[in-house]
Chains A and B, each alone.
Chain A
Amino acid sequence: MSLHELYQEMIVDHSRSPRNFHKLQEKAQNLEGYNPLCGDKFTIYASFKGKKISDLSFEGNGCAISTASASLMTEFMKNKSFDEAESIIAEFQRLVTGGELKGVDLGKLQVFEGVQEFPIRVKCAVLAWHTLRSLLHGERKAVTTE
């Protein structure tokens, strides 16, 4: 178990300079995700076109893992269909909890593999993802990890 597996360069980079870190204009949906244990709090913004995520961004405050995870998520999930998004979210969850992978392409998201060695940090890694899933399901109540 090594710290450098957890804090990979790409994760540190995205946590320091998060991408898509702003509100979305016009007709965007948004939902807040909150991890009461460590105070991580993000708002995920998404625009939908047909059955597709046409744009995705976020704002908020959290640890390196949760911030990088939200940042990489907004990059990776843009232009994914709802169905694709669902299977990626589920695969990501399996990746960080050490579950059996189903072969869904996670691209750069693989850098989060190290999280499985740090069980108490899983919540940080999945916060943005749970929030996005709730947003896709049309939920309007803030998501918390507790």
Chain B
Amino acid sequence: MMVRKDFPIFNIKVRGKPLVYLDSAATTQKPQVVMDTLNKYYSSQNSNVHRGVHYLSELATKEYEAAREKVQKFIHAKDSREIIFTRGTTESINLVAQTFGRERVQEGDEVLITHMEHHSNIVPWQILCSEKKAHLKIAPINQKGELLIDEFKKLVNPKTKIVGIAHVSNALGTINPIKEIVSFCHDHGVPVLVDGAQAASHLKVDVEALDCDFYTLSGHKIYGPTGIGVLYGKLKHLEKMPPYQGGGDMIKSVTFEKTIYNDVPFKFEAGTPNIAGAIGLGSALDYLSALNMEKVQKYEEELLKYMEEQLLTLPKIKLIGRAEKKAALQSFIVENIHPHDVGTILDQEGVAVRTGHHCAQPVMNFYGVPATVRASLGIYNTKEDISLLVLALKKVFEVLG
């Protein structure tokens, strides 16, 4: 994709070398239009939303609500009221666990997740389960990093009250068969939350087709600003759920005796929201839609395949995460060299990768490694970046080999 010029960050030099950014799974770089949108908002539209009668407040509210509709279209939700702005995936999952989950899950019940979840799709459920004396169940994966779907299905039973699953694993790149899982769970009366943090920037997401009950996004992983994210929830759930946080904006009327909560989605957006962030996210989604998500997916698939092939030409490299269906990243280890040392040496070559446990310690334990190196792709990466990664890995062998 000819988009590098849209991303000013690539004008910088890292230790005198061009930036090779292979850490988009941690956060993506931002296109100029997103920065321009933020700038325009603060310089000519800034005001609080849903509050004033004045010109600016009306304008800011209009832009903020337009961003909500952009998200709705981008993930193909039926109704813009199903889009709640949050700080990110982490807050979105906590919101569901603490409202929907808290009402639904009782003593002795089960919450089912998978072995490949990010900590943010583990810990909120652990907190809920320990509060309710419920049990957290874990569906296993195989050596390739794929969910064992039959084992997953066996774990769904009448005590299962909610399922949490990543659309794409951040440590392994695995794309989970969400449609099949949701349909199976619904047949058993179990609602499903899908963690889409790693999916929405790589795959065309259609929540209506997936039929999931909840879907989460992080703006900063989809070329938008930090501090903004999304919770999609089916209207029928959102309307019944109690509020998450109390405060301004989430109420219709307050007396000391009784408070009437606002309608969905405002019931879940207590306090002044991240207005600029939401509008910035909207512009990032416009940018991606103009590129066309099907083209993005195809381009990244080819690039990922090329990266896998290139990594396999090197000796002593073991790829971790070899699922049939994968998106945009490859984890690996270098025999006898700790990922942290690999990361430092790559960094000296201007190559940015993530090293560590990727907030997925259970995945690391499964493979018996303390950490991996992860190279992850975005729309601005090229084969040239991958060649530079390979050259930098050769340097690792030279220094520590």
Residues in chain A within 8 A of chain B (CB atoms): 1, 3-4, 6-7, 12, 16, 37-41, 61-65, 67, 118, 120-121, 124
Give the one of B337, B338, B345, B356 with max A CB within 10 A. B338
Contacting pair A7 B340 (CB below 8 A): no
Report the bound CA distance from A64 to B355 in whole Å.
14
CB nearest to B355 among chain A residues: A38
Contacting pair A39 B344 (CB below 8 A): no
Q: How many residues of B contact A (CB 8 A)?
A: 19
CB B362 to nearest CB in A, in angstroms, measures 13
Give the one of A3, A12, A40, A124 with max B CB within 10 A. A3
Report the bound CA distance from A62 to B345 in whole Å.
16
Give the one of A16, A62, A63, A67 with max B CB within 10 A. A63
Residues of A within 8 A of B344 (CB): 3, 6, 118, 120-121
Residues of B within 8 A of A120 (CB): 344
Residues of A within 8 A of B357 (CB): 39
Contacting pair A41 B370 (CB below 8 A): yes
A37, A61, A64: which contacts B341 (Cβ < 8 A)? A64
3 closest A-B pairs by beta carbon, nearest first, are A39-B370, A63-B338, A63-B340
Residues in chain B within 8 A of chain A (CB atoms): 15, 336-341, 344-345, 348, 355-357, 364, 370-371, 395, 399-400
Residues of B within 8 A of A118 (CB): 344
CB A26 to nearest CB in B, in angstroms, measures 30
CB A11 to nearest CB in B, in angstroms, measures 10
Contacting pair B337 A37 (CB below 8 A): no
Contacting pair B371 A3 (CB below 8 A): no
Contacting pair A64 B345 (CB below 8 A): no
Contacting pair B338 A64 (CB below 8 A): yes
Contacting pair B356 A39 (CB below 8 A): yes
Contacting pair B400 A64 (CB below 8 A): yes
A3, A16, A39, A61: which contacts B345 (Cβ < 8 A)? A3
For the A-B complex, the count of residue pairs with Cβ-Cβ distances under 8 Å equals: 49
CB A3 to nearest CB in B, in angstroms, measures 5
Report the bound CA distance from A4 to B341 in whole Å.
12
Report the bound CA distance from A64 to B334 in whole Å.
13
CB A115 to nearest CB in B, in angstroms, measures 11
Report the bound CA distance from A12 to B357 in whole Å.
23
Contacting pair B370 A61 (CB below 8 A): yes
Report the bound CA distance from A7 to B338 in whole Å.
13
Report the bound CA distance from A1 to B345 in whole Å.
12
Residues of A within 8 A of B337 (CB): 64
Report the bound CA distance from A1 to B349 in whole Å.
12
Report the bound CA distance from A4 to B399 in whole Å.
7
Q: List 21 A-B contacts (CB under 8 A).
A: A1-B15, A1-B348, A3-B345, A3-B395, A4-B399, A7-B341, A7-B400, A12-B400, A37-B356, A38-B339, A39-B356, A39-B357, A39-B370, A40-B370, A62-B370, A63-B341, A64-B338, A67-B338, A118-B344, A121-B344, A124-B340
Report the bound CA distance from A124 to B355 in whole Å.
14
CB nearest to B372 among chain A residues: A39
Contacting pair B338 A62 (CB below 8 A): yes
Report the bound CA distance from A4 to B395 in whole Å.
11
CB B356 to nearest CB in A, in angstroms, measures 6
Contacting pair A38 B400 (CB below 8 A): no
Report the bound CA distance from A121 to B355 in whole Å.
13
